[in-house]
């Protein structure tokens, strides 16, 4: 068996397209739709797999920047500061796996959200909202670019260039 993930995905895609798809000729409509969705997902994974680690690290960098700015805006945020420290350890580790990088970014997003929700000072809340909206615009642009192979973008040429 070939252990190369790229080759394995190519083989699976070819088998699904050349063997399974033609056999679905008489299948119910929802079965065919689900098959095509699964096939589209596998094509997406195959195309994005080489960039996955870089994308996750880019997202972690964006979350770290937002978290640091949020701490500065709030003045004090112990839970977020702990999350930043943990994320910096992951970021500095060249052997950190993609799942660990994604988990660190998720924790940062969750802690920024918790900080914004717990803030009772209207001025700080407004600053945090502004930071989240500004950072979110760039992060969402990259996420849309990442998912663009699915074909849902009306004007994919208007998306920001990949930053990963």
Length of the chain: 164
Q: Which percentage of the chain shows pLDDT scores above 90?
A: 94
Residue 1 pLDDT class (50, 70, 90 cuts): low
Own/partner contacts of 140-149, CB < 8 Å, gap of 24 or more, are 142/55, 142/58, 142/59, 142/62, 146/48, 146/55, 147/44, 149/43, 149/44, 149/47, 149/48
pLDDT at 2 over 80: no
Q: Read off the pLDDT of each residue in 127-154 and give the average, rounded to a whole number.
A: 96
pLDDT at 159 over 80: yes
- The alpha carbon of residue 46 and the mean position of all alpha carbons in its chain are separated, in whole angstroms, by 16
Rg (the chain; Cα; Å): 20
pTM for the model stands at: 0.87
Q: How far apart are the first and last CA of the chain?
A: 32
Give the Cβ contact number of residue 85 at 10 Å. 9
- The alpha carbon of residue 83 and the mean position of all alpha carbons in its chain are separated, in whole angstroms, by 18
- The confidence score (pLDDT) of residue 4 equals 86
User: In this structure, what DSSP letter does residue 154 have?
Assistant: S
pLDDT at 110 over 70: yes
The residue ranges of every structural domain in the chain are 5-50, 52-158
pLDDT tens-digit map of 60-97 = 999 999 999 999 999 999 999 999 999 999 999 999 99
Q: Which residues contact 98 (CB under 8 A, 6 or more apart)?
A: 52, 53, 56
């Amino acid at each position: 068996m070939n252990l190369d993930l790229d080759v394995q995905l190519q083989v699976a895609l070819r088998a699904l397209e050349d063997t399974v798809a033609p056999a679905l000729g008489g299948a119910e409509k929802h079965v065919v739709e689900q098959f095509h969705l699964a096939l589209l997902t596998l094509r997406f994974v195959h195309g994005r797999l080489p960039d996955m680690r870089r994308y996750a690290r880019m997202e972690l960098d964006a979350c770290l920047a937002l978290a640091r700015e949020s701490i500065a805006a709030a003045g004090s945020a112990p839970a977020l500061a702990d999350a930043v420290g943990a994320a910096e350890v992951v970021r500095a580790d060249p052997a950190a796996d993609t799942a660990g990088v994604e988990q660190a970014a998720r924790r940062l997003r969750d802690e920024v959200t918790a900080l914004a929700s717990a803030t009772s000072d209207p001025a700080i809340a407004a600053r945090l909202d502004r930071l989240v909206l500004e950072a979110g615009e760039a992060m969402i642009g990259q996420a849309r670019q990442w998912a663009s192979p699915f074909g849902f973008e009306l004007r994919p040429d208007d998306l920001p260039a990949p930053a990963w």
